[in-house]
Structure formats: structure tokens, C-alpha cells
């Protein structure tokens, strides 16, 4: 990726030098740097606010209550995960954060969920008497389902996009909420259907 960006910058500078527009290229680079810093400050504020809200919700028991409410959904999506397994909690937290458009808050929970799913996978291998070193690197059905649902990412409030649009002077920065919700509902529904079909084929 570094090579790609370096190549693009080099081509831009060379093109500006050949066409005599190097001052414009320099000005654009300076302006872009200013915009990047301003955007970073804006996103840091948004991120700090919603991370704080998530922490308050977690400490006050709201997240725990939401996890319980999501139990039927988790049972439908991950029927082979025991109800009392820690993976359920992290999967639910990840899904809640994604619904709010908080990708940065969803990532730690997603990593924890994958870690718990890996431990569950190893425990199953031990119980079945299989070679752990040979099969522990294989992605389980639950891992694949969680990854696909996480990528499809149903979003009720796309905070990142709203913040970007607000930063760049959009008159109605929240106008993307409706189209974004419709698009992510379709993508998540497609992901769930795909996972169910593949799971049945593997079972058969």
C-alpha cells in the first residue's frame, strides 16, 4: 500500500512538473494536509463521544440488557454456540456497535469474539480427539458467519458518513441515514441467507 501511494504521489508531481502546474500541485498538497488535520480532529471528537457513550451504556447495564434481547438472533445465526459462552457477548457488542456505525468500537469486540470462537473450536477438537495443530487453523462455520455479517454491517446510524458530510459542508449530513439503512438491510439479509444456505450444504 505504501508503494502504491508513493507511486501515485510521484506520478502527480511529475505530471505537474511536465505541464507547468507544479505550484498548483504544491498548493493542493498543502490544502489537503489542512483538510486531513481538520477531519482527523472532527472524527476524533465524534469517536471520543460515541466511545464514551458505549462505555456508559456498558457500565450502566444497557449493553448487557441489549445482549439478552439479542439472544434469539444469536441463537438463529449461531445455533451451535452454547448460550452461556463468552463469544455471544462479544458478538452482540460488535453487532450493536456496527448498527450505530461505530466501526472503531466494533473492532475490539470483533477480535475478542474471534478469539473466543477459536477457543471453542480448539475445545471441540480436543473433545473429538482430533489433531489440534492440523485443524486449529481452519475457520469454523461460526467464524465465517460472524465475519460475513460483520462485513455486511447493518447500520441504523452511519455516524462516520454523517461526520464526513458535516465536515465538508453538507446541508443535510444525515440525509444518508435512510439510503444507508436500506442498503445495509439488503446486504445483511443477503449475508444471512448465504450463510444459512452454505451451512445446510456443509451439514448435508
How high is the pLDDT of residue 116? 92
HEC per residue, 142-170? HHHHHHHHHHHCCCCCCHHHHHHHHHCCC
Q: State mean pLDDT over 83-95.
A: 86
Q: Could you tell me which residues come within 8 angstroms of residue 187 by beta carbon, excluding any fewer than 6 positions away? A: 152, 153, 154
Compute the mean pLDDT over every residue in the chain, rounded to the nearest whole number: 81
How high is the pLDDT of residue 201? 67
pLDDT digits (tens, 9 = 90+) for 19-45: 878 788 788 878 888 877 877 777 777
How high is the pLDDT of residue 92? 87
Q: State mean pLDDT over 107-124.
A: 88
Residue 78 DSSP code: -
pLDDT digits (tens, 9 = 90+) for 129-143: 887 777 777 888 888
Amino acid at each position: 500500500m505504501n508503494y502504491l501511494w508513493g507511486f501515485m504521489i510521484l506520478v502527480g508531481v511529475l505530471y505537474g512538473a511536465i505541464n507547468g502546474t507544479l505550484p498548483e500541485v504544491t498548493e493542493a498538497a498543502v490544502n489537503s494536509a489542512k483538510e486531513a488535520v481538520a477531519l482527523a480532529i472532527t472524527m476524533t471528537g465524534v469517536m471520543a463521544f460515541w466511545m464514551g457513550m458505549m462505555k456508559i451504556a456498558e457500565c450502566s447495564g444497557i449493553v448487557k440488557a441489549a445482549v439478552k434481547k439479542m439472544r434469539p438472533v444469536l441463537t438463529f445465526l449461531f445455533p451451535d454456540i452454547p448460550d452461556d459462552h463468552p463469544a455471544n457477548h462479544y458478538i452482540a457488542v460488535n453487532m450493536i456497535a456496527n448498527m450505530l456505525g461505530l466501526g472503531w468500537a466494533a473492532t475490539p469486540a470483533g477480535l475478542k469474539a474471534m478469539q473466543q470462537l477459536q477457543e471453542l473450536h480448539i475445545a471441540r477438537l480436543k473433545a473429538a480427539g482430533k489433531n489440534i495443530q492440523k485443524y486449529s487453523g481452519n475457520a469454523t462455520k461460526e467464524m465465517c458467519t460472524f465475519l460475513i455479517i460483520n462485513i455486511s454491517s447493518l447500520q441504523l446510524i452511519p455516524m462516520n458518513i454523517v461526520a464526513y458530510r458535516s465536515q465538508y459542508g453538507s446541508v443535510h449530513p444525515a440525509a444518508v441515514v435512510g439510503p444507508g439503512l436500506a442498503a445495509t438491510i439488503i446486504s445483511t439479509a443477503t449475508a444471512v441467507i448465504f450463510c444459512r444456505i452454505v451451512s445446510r450444504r456443509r451439514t448435508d
